[in-house]
Amino acid sequence: MAFVQNLNKKLKDVEISIPIVYGNVAFWLGKKASEYQSHKWTVYVRGATNEDLGVVIKRAVFQLHSSFNNPTRAVESPPFELSESGWGEFEIAITLYFHADVCDKPLNLYHHLKLYPEDESGSMSTKKPVVVESYDEIVFPEPSDSFLARVQNHPAVTLPRLPVGFTLPPPVPIEDTSKRKRGDTKDHPLAQWFMNFSEADELLQLAAARQQVQAHIAKLKRQISLIDGQQQQLRSTSDP
C-alpha cells in the first residue's frame, strides 16, 4: 500500500484510496519468433476493476532496458500501457505522475517483466500468454477538497474512512462523459487475460501478511530478550 502526501488544502481525517493493478501480458511469437524477437508484450497500470485511472493519474513513465531505442517512454493519457517486443526479461520502473489537485510527488513502482512460464518444462503457446500482475492501493491521506469533490463519485475511487458528521463537498459535474470512458479497460483486447483481484482474496492476503509481520515481531522480541539475557550474564560474571 503506497501513501502519497497531498500538498494542497487538506481535509483532515479523510483519505482516498485508488486500487490499482500493474503487470504485463506476454505472447510467444511461435514460428514468427527470432533470436532477438521471441515475444510481444504489454506492460501496464490499470484500475483493479478496469476503471479509468485518468481521473487521478496524469502521466505514466515506463523505464525500459537500455538496449531499447528511447528506453524512457511517457504515456500522457489512459490507458497507461506500453507494448514492445523482445526476448529478455528485466525490471521496468514505472513512475506515476498525478494531477495538480491530487499530489505533487510522483509514485515509483517496479515490475519484473515476465516472458516465460514458471514451469520451464512446459511448452510455450502462442494462444495462451504469460500474465504477471500485482495489486496495490494508492492512499491519499488528507486530500484536497477540490480533489475529493472531483472524484467522490468516480468508480475507480474508494473512500474507506470518513469522520462522523463529515459532509462531502458538492460533486464536480463531468462535462464530457465520453472522456471518462477513455481509459476504461473493461473492453481492452487483453481484458480476458487480466487477473481478478476480489476484495475477499485481498483480505485473506492482508490477514496472512499481518500474521507474518506479527510472527516476525515476536521473533525479534525473542532475539532481543536473548541478547539482553546474555548481556546481563556477562555483567554478572565480570563484576568482582
User: What pLDDT, on a 0 to 100 scale, did the predictor assign at position 173?
Assistant: 65
* Higher-pLDDT residue of 163, 177: 163
Model confidence at 200, pLDDT cuts 50, 70, 90, reads: very low
Per-residue pLDDT reduced to its tens digit, 212-230: 776 778 788 888 888 887 7
**Rounded alpha-carbon distances, angstroms, from residue 209 to 17, 111, 212:** 20, 20, 5
CA distance linking residue 180 with residue 41, whole number of Å: 26
Per-residue pLDDT reduced to its tens digit, 13-28: 778 888 899 999 999 9
Residue 175 near residue 26 (C-beta atoms within 8 A):
no
Residue in this structure with the C-alpha cell 490499470, named with its chain if needed: 46
pTM (2 d.p.): 0.72
Mean local confidence (pLDDT), 205-217? 68
Mean local confidence (pLDDT), 43-72? 94
Task: Give the chain's length.
Answer: 240
Per-residue pLDDT reduced to its tens digit, 74-129: 999 999 999 999 999 999 999 999 999 898 899 999 999 999 988 766 678 888 89
Consecutive H or E run containing 151: helix 145-151
Mean local confidence (pLDDT), 134-162? 82
Greatest mean pLDDT among 56-65, 114-123, 192-201, 212-221 lies in: 56-65
> 229 Cβ partners below 8 Å, 6+ apart?
none
First to last CA, the chain: 54
CA distance linking residue 230 with residue 224, whole number of Å: 10
User: What pLDDT, on a 0 to 100 scale, did the predictor assign at position 225?
Assistant: 83
Judged by DSSP in three states, 223 sits in: helix
Model confidence at 210, pLDDT cuts 50, 70, 90, reads: low
Model confidence at 153, pLDDT cuts 50, 70, 90, reads: confident
CA distance linking residue 183 with residue 47, whole number of Å: 9
Query: Which residues does residue 140 pair with via DSSP β-bridges, in sequence order?
Result: 16
* Higher-pLDDT residue of 69, 191: 69
